[in-house]
Amino acid sequence: MNNLLMTLFSVLLVSTFSSDEVLNFDSSHATMTTESTEFLKGDKPIEQQQIGINLEPKQDSINASVGKNGNLDLGNFEDIKLEGVYTEIKDNPYIELTENGVWKAIKPGNTKITIGVALSESTLEAIKTKYPDCEIIYPAKALKVLEVKVNDNAGEIYLDYHVSPGSIQAVVGGAGEFTIGNFEDIPLTGTFEEVKDNPFIEIQSDGKWKALKAGETQVLPNFIISDESLSKIEAKYPGKPIVKPAMQQLIPVKITDAKVETVTLTYHFSPGSIETEVNSVGMISVGDFEGIPLAGTFKEVKDNPYVELKSDGSWKALKAGETQILPTFTLSEETIAKINARYPGKEIIVPEIQQVIPFKIKEKSVVDSNKSGENQTIGTSKPVDRTETLPKTGETESYILKLIGISTIFIMIRIKRRVRVK
């Protein structure tokens, strides 16, 4: 009986599922497996191969007086300054905006503007260069609405925040502090907006900053004036509106690794100046650096009409005149190795501007060799016409006959005289 019940139960259990349903379950399972593999690309999740760029001006509003202008700022993506191309605004009676993000207040009043901005090609190329294997995701045109208040400039008091230092050069781990100068005779106190998303530098609310890693960037410290300082200004100028700056000071930042000692080379070319003649040749040599002979090559000079210089330092005067050359000397690898061995661990600084050598070239002179016992300079070399007037061929024969005739007459006269004596 028990066996019979078990058999019936098995038949009922199998009959509740069709073969089609079993296949559907299998195919569904295979599809899920396939879909899960679509999230992999090159053994990395797609999320790690995509970079999203947020295009949104940091300003939420603009508060300015008539005639004033400023810039919209998109901030940074890591160490890359985000530049945008803005949709121009020309039909708003209160404010106008150019495609590079510069706005100008036109007339008093309140309005709202919709900022449209696209990522610039130069910024996109900079990001692609840094992340060549990643897909860059960014909006074709980002939109943001800004509240605008334009004040009449009559009787207004404009605050101007002077942040110090105006630029930062520091080593990794270095620290400092931003300060705000006085407004007239009133000290300005307040807080800074913290900066924590910049990989190179961080800024705390009290203005203290710290260098995080080597690189270059820019920061825009946003100073928020305290109520105490604002009250002092209002007390000094009662009834006058106080206008805070819409755009504050942009601070360039350069962070380097731990400071390295340097050794600066100096090149002493010899001779320091040259007076010579056309077609003369010579050699420029480089002196030692602290006992180390400086071997290397010169950059050839071929485009100077007065003198040419070869890579070994040899020169030739081409034509008369005055000129100067700036020899560019490059150290040989062997010489660099000797200097590094003398100063291990130090950075070798090669001078960017080297020594100027003036040339004064005159025409080549010649020497008169006709005078014995002395050399006489007779000026520039020119052919001298030394020909004499000689008789022509026919004239030569007549000249000889004349001489013979005269001799005959003379002899005959002598003979006659001797005859008469006898």
Q: In terms of domains, do 272 and 327 share one?
A: yes
| Residue at 170 is within a domain | yes
User: Which H or E run includes 317?
Assistant: strand 314-317
| Residue at 145 is within a domain | yes
Tokens representing 410?
């003379």
Q: In terms of domains, do 280 and 236 share one?
A: no
- CATH code of the domain containing 338: 2.60.40
pLDDT of res. 64: 83
Q: In terms of domains, do 207 and 145 share one?
A: no
Other Cβ atoms less than 10 A from the Cβ of 278: the count is 16
User: In one letter, which amino acid is 271?
Assistant: P
Phi, psi of 64 (to 5 degrees): -150, 170
Domain boundary among 124, 154, 184: 154
pLDDT of res. 65: 80
Confidence bin at 227 (pLDDT 50/70/90): very high
| Residue at 401 is within a domain | no
pLDDT of res. 287: 86
User: In one letter, which amino acid is 110?
Assistant: N
Of 40-54, 72-86, 179-193, 241-255, the one with minimum mean pLDDT is: 40-54
Domain boundary among 362, 384, 417: 362
Question: Structurally, how many domains does the chain consist of?
Answer: 3
Domain span at 315 = 263-362
| Residue at 319 is within a domain | yes
Other Cβ atoms less than 10 A from the Cβ of 391: the count is 10
Q: In terms of domains, do 142 and 173 share one?
A: no
Q: Does 409 or 285 have the greater pLDDT score? A: 285
Q: In terms of domains, do 356 and 290 share one?
A: yes
pLDDT of res. 352: 65
Q: In terms of domains, do 182 and 239 share one?
A: yes
pLDDT of res. 333: 92
Domain boundary among 362, 386, 402: 362
Inform me whether the pLDDT recorded for 332 exceeds 90. Answer: yes
* β strands within 66-220, DSSP E: 69-71, 76-77, 80-81, 84-86, 95-97, 102-105, 109-119, 135-137, 142-151, 157-158, 163-164, 168-171, 175-177, 179-180, 190-192, 201-203, 208-211, 215-219
Q: What is the pTM of this model?
A: 0.36
- CATH code of the domain containing 251: 2.60.40.1080
| Residue at 399 is within a domain | no
Q: In terms of domains, do 269 and 357 share one?
A: yes
Can you say whether the dihedral through the CA atoms of 344, 349, 350, 355 is positive or negative?
negative
Tell me which residue of 208, 53, 80 sits closest to 140, measured CA to CA: 53
| Residue at 368 is within a domain | no
Q: In terms of domains, do 285 and 250 share one?
A: no
- Per-residue pLDDT tens for 268-277? 899 989 999 9
Residue 234 and residue 382: Cα distance in Å, rounded?
92
Q: In terms of domains, do 216 and 269 share one?
A: no
pLDDT of res. 67: 80
pLDDT of res. 194: 93
> 39 in helix, strand or coil?
coil
- Per-residue pLDDT tens for 66-81? 888 888 999 888 888 8
| Residue at 373 is within a domain | no
DSSP letters along 190-253, please? EEE--B-S-SSEEE-TTSEEEE-SSEEEEE---EEE-HHHHHHHHHHSTTPPEE--SS---EEE
- Per-residue pLDDT tens for 12-48? 444 444 333 333 333 333 333 333 323 333 455 544 5
Inform me whether the pLDDT recorded for 152 exceeds 80. Answer: no
* β strands within 332-420, DSSP E: 347-349, 357-362, 365-368, 376-380
| Residue at 34 is within a domain | no
pLDDT of res. 353: 59
Q: In terms of domains, do 177 and 253 share one?
A: yes
Inform me whether the pLDDT recorded for 291 exceeds 90. Answer: no
Q: In terms of domains, do 49 and 139 share one?
A: yes
